[in-house]
Amino acid sequence: MMSSASGSLSVISGDNQTWDLAVAAIIQAGHRMDDRGWVPATAGNLSIRLADGRIAITRSGGHKGFLTSDGVIEVGLNGEARHEGDRPSAETLLHCQIYEHFPNAGAVLHGHSVAATVLSMVIKEPALYLEDYEVLKVFEDQTTHETRLSVPVFANDQNIARLSRSVALYLDEMKAGYIIRGHGVYIWGPDMTTALTRLEGLEFLLTCELERLKLLPAIPARDVM
């Protein structure tokens, strides 16, 4: 179990995968992400896939720090709301893409931290590389710090269907989620506790990288036009 200001976070898996438990886990995770400054304003979205295939996901436009059960809606694997009047975020398609590609994925988290946003704007390569950090062991199949993980970075795109096609090319290679440039991270796990643990690990590593960059020689100022 992981604890937060909102109480313990239940693992949503197996026979206890009910709608109410899924909603409660999303609310607790949303509050924790807000406490950490990873979902400013109405940014970010969180979801859980239940055993029966239903997907519980945060409603578009809601503040995760004030998230209640009314802020969680049901969608199908196609990303469409199951109940009239509910409005999912366009980014719901990226959650559904992960669930469709990874049969064992049970929870997906998307945050907009300062570290992820700034690093992805500064690093112009198509991926951010993390190596030699002990916390790398938080990710699936990682048993040592003596490794190098690639976190793909994709250009931000308001056309989510087009963005999802770019992401699809690299999904099998993703051990630590991915980043949308100037936007934020996507990460997942078999349940909410694991997804949140991986998110916290990734955000710690991104913060370390951002702090490391501050110690490098200053970038020369641009000429004044």
The CATH number that applies at residue 19 is: 3.40.225.10
Residue 194 in domain: yes
* Residues lower than pLDDT 70 in the chain: 1-17, 218-225
What is residue 170's predicted lDDT score, i.e. its pLDDT?
96
Residue 224 in domain: no
CA distances, 123 to each of 120, 147, 207 (Å): 5, 20, 14
Model pTM above 0.85: yes
| Alpha-carbon 69 to chain mean position | 20
Residue 221 in domain: no
Q: Which residues of 3-42 are buried (b: 16+ CB within 10 A; e: fewer)?
A: eeeeeebbbbbeeebeeebbbbbbbbbbbbbbeeebbbeb
Residue 219 in domain: no
Residue 4 in domain: no
Contact 25, 46 (CB under 8 A): no
What is residue 199's predicted lDDT score, i.e. its pLDDT?
97
Residue 154 in domain: yes
The SS3 assignment for 17 reads coil
Where in the sequence is the domain holding 161, given as residue range(s)?
A: 10-214
What is residue 125's predicted lDDT score, i.e. its pLDDT?
92
What is residue 218's predicted lDDT score, i.e. its pLDDT?
59
| 95 annotated to bind ligand | no
What is residue 221's predicted lDDT score, i.e. its pLDDT?
46
| 112 annotated to bind ligand | yes
**Domain total for the chain?**
1
What is residue 140's predicted lDDT score, i.e. its pLDDT?
84
Distance, CA of 38 to CA of 34 (rounded, Å)? 6
What is residue 209's predicted lDDT score, i.e. its pLDDT?
94
The torsion angles phi and psi of 118, rounded to 5 degrees, stand at -70, -50
